[in-house]
Chain A
């Protein structure tokens, strides 16, 4: 589904990714772990096309298409979803309006009919219920006044509504208490654990992986994947720290 080959990227002319190669197949959940500053968030931003994150070498294909040639909204319509480490507040735009316009823009791009107001609300309500989020919160401006945990929960509601093929989740576990962590973990499994979908979980810690079992674990250090393995690698990292393994 996603093939990243020898990816080099810079931010403000500073090289961050230095030859990253990684391959994800449908039905797989991959976890990327690594120390601060290794380039984990940069990878998420480069894949989703954030301005200012410049690819200098390498290629990325998504379902056989050149991902890097697409605009951010085209990547979204193609099925790529980025769960933000710090979800953005948008005063004056309700979650419902924001998501309905976004989803219908994606559908339009794919040549599908837009959802009516009623159809959309039904979908939004089902996803909010599944994440234990009050529908009233979805009527409030996007992430404004939400706690850290509520913002992450809202990312999962958005992911459920948008129903992407590939989710890149950037430290979705940070800022969550134990109960919220479980709810978010269950959300990821419910929405994304399917034969036709894939997940790239970016995380510092093992604890989210207790709820979302990865098929593969990779260590990202200094802009490259330095080690790959199965779920046991995450436990090893938790025990030994990154220092030993990153080299």
Chain B
């Protein structure tokens, strides 16, 4: 059991306190160790069924020398859902993340990662995409720590949000703490709406408004799954995301 966090914890700053208060403790993190030289894929849908349900999934991932972990998530469904990933990368390791959060109604969705680059030459790439409708809140926080020893780290983090209604909220926050001096760390956050001109272009070519919107939303979330090498799984994940966008997951 882990002690309950408070909103003073930066990573819980946007979480609904009333939901946290209802918990006795945080669920334990699932520990995943990727052995040296191995590749470990993870595909997971974080989805609760009911509006009052809480689903917090925590992962603690250790990636050994030269190993890879490629993790892809879809967060959808009602209630409060949170994906919490803490990754430690050994020398030459790689971590790949593609995470999509889709929120409607009053749902709260959180994608929170912490990457610890503790040894030289490790690389990471994180793509987060959030689509918020109605009064939903989506929070994407990516923290990257690069230790003094972790020279030649190459870390990239991109978090983008799509607000479909004026009443929806998206928080996106990269946090970088870098102690090594020869590293590449790229981060970008962008929150916007569907491109009006692209919507009109699609309609002019024949797509009804609803289909034009769907097409653009699908393209937006599909960016998170672009690095899935296994085409069968890539199709699965994009298919799940498409149904989630339609509200038929």
Interface residue range, chain B: 20 to 34
Looking at the complex, which one of B195, B196, B200, B215 makes contact with A72 (CB distance below 8 Å)?
B200
Query: What residues of chain A lie closer than 8 Å to B219, measured between beta carbons?
Result: 90-93, 141
Q: How many A-B residue pairs have CB under 8 A?
A: 77
Neighbouring B residues of A76 by C-beta, 8 Å: 203-206
Asked if A109 is at the interface of the complex by the 8 Å CB criterion, the answer is yes
Q: Which residues of B200-232 are within 8 A (CB) of A? A: 200-209, 211-212, 215-216, 218-220, 222-223
- Determine whether A245 belongs to the interface, using a CB cutoff of 8 Å to chain B: no
In angstroms, Cα B219 to Cα A162, docked, is 22
Q: Is the CB of B203 within 8 A of A71?
A: yes
Contact between A90 and B206 (Cβ–Cβ < 8 Å)?
no
Assembly CA distance A204 to B212 (angstroms): 32
Number of residues from A at the complex interface, CB < 8 A: 31
Does A242 touch B at the CB level, under 8 Å? no
Query: Contact between B198 and A73 (Cβ–Cβ < 8 Å)?
Result: no
The docked-state distance in angstroms from the alpha carbon of A86 to that of B207 is 19
Is A88's CB under 8 angstroms from B207's CB?
Answer: no
* Chain A residues near B223 (CB-CB < 8 A): 91-92
Least Cβ distance of A166 to chain B in Å? Answer: 13
Is A156 close to B, CB under 8 A? Answer: no
Q: Which residues of B contact A126 (CB under 8 A)?
A: none
- Contact present for B200 and A102 (CB under 8 Å): no
List residues of chain A with CB within 8 A of the CB of B207: 73, 101-102, 105
- Counting chain B CB atoms within 10 Å of each CB, the highest count among A81, A88, A158 belongs to A88
Query: A92 contacts which of B197, B205, B206, B220 (Cβ < 8 Å)?
Result: B220
Chain A residue contacts of B206, Cβ below 8 A: 73, 76-77, 102-103, 105-106, 109, 162
Residue of A nearest to B197 (CB): A88
Q: Please, how many angstroms separate the alpha-carbon atoms of A50 and B208 in the complex?
A: 13
Q: Tell me the smallest distance from the CB of B239 to a CB of chain A, in Å.
A: 14
* 9 cross-chain pairs, A with B, having the tightest CB-CB distances, nearest first: A92-B219, A102-B205, A106-B206, A72-B203, A88-B201, A102-B206, A76-B206, A105-B206, A93-B219
Binding site for A on B (CB under 8 A): 195-198, 200-209, 211-212, 215-216, 218-220, 222-223
Known: A71-B208, A90-B215, A98-B205. 20 other contacts (CB 8 A): A49-B204, A72-B200, A72-B204, A73-B203, A73-B207, A75-B204, A76-B204, A76-B205, A77-B206, A88-B198, A88-B200, A90-B201, A90-B216, A91-B219, A92-B218, A93-B218, A93-B219, A98-B215, A105-B206, A109-B206
